[in-house]
Amino acid sequence: MDEIDGIGARLAHGDASMKDPESKVSATSHDETATPEVSRSSLVTLVVVVLIVAVASAIVGIVRRVHANTELVRYTDTNAAPPVSLAQPVFEKDAREIVLPGNIQAFTLAPIYARTTGYVKSWSHDIGSHVRKGDLLAVIETPELDQQLAQAKADLATAQSNAALAKVTADRYRGLIAQNAVSQQDTDNAVSQLEARSTEVNSAQANVRRLEELQSFERIEAPFDGVITARNLDIGQLVTPAGSTTTPGAGTVTGSKEVFDISAIGTLRVFINVPQIYAPDAKNGVTATLTLPQFPGRIFHGKLVRSSGAVDPATRTLLAEVDVDNRSGELLPGSYTEVHLNVSTNVPALIVPVSALIFEPDGLHVATVDATNHAHIVRVTAGRDSGSTMEVLGGLAPGQFVIANPPDSLTDGELVRVVTPDAGAKP
- What are 242-299's pLDDT values in tens digits? 655 555 554 566 656 889 999 999 999 999 988 887 888 888 888 999 999 999 989 9
DSSP state of 114: -
Q: How far is CA 282 from the centre of its chain?
A: 29
b/e per residue 209-230 (b: at least 16 CB within 10 A): eebeebbebbebebbebbbbbe
Give pLDDT, residue 161: 92
The CATH number of the domain covering residues in 84-93+348-420: 2.40.420.20
- 12-16, 43-47, 179-183, 228-232: which has the highest mean pLDDT? 228-232
Name which CATH class applies to 114-140+223-258.
mainly beta
User: Residue 423: pLDDT band by 50, 70, 90 thresholds?
Assistant: very low
% residues pLDDT > 70 (the chain): 82
* 415 three-state secondary structure: strand
Q: Are 270 and 337 in contact (CB under 8 A)?
A: yes
- Looking at residue 150, its pLDDT comes to 93
Q: How confident is the model at residue 16 (pLDDT cuts 50, 70, 90)?
A: very low
Alpha-carbon dihedral 172, 178, 184, 186, rounded to 10 degrees: -20
Cβ atoms of residues 157 and 151 within 8 Å: no
pTM over 0.75: no
- Select from 129, 126, 133 the least CA-distant residue to 232: 126
Asked if the domains at 98-105+260-342 and 114-140+223-258 fall in one CATH topology, the answer is no
Q: How confident is the model at residue 40 (pLDDT cuts 50, 70, 90)?
A: confident
92 against 373, higher pLDDT: 373
- Tell me the average pLDDT across 347-372: 84
CATH 2.40.30.170 for the 98-105+260-342 domain, yes or no = yes
* CA atoms lying within 13 Å on the CB side of residue 416: 30
CATH topology of domain 143-217: Helix Hairpins (1.10.287)
Lowest mean pLDDT among 77-91, 207-221, 244-258, 310-324: 244-258
The tens digit of pLDDT for each residue in 384-418 reads 677 788 878 777 887 788 998 888 888 888 888 88
Strands 238-239 and 252-253: parallel
Domain ranges of the chain: 2-80, 84-93+348-420, 98-105+260-342, 114-140+223-258, 143-217
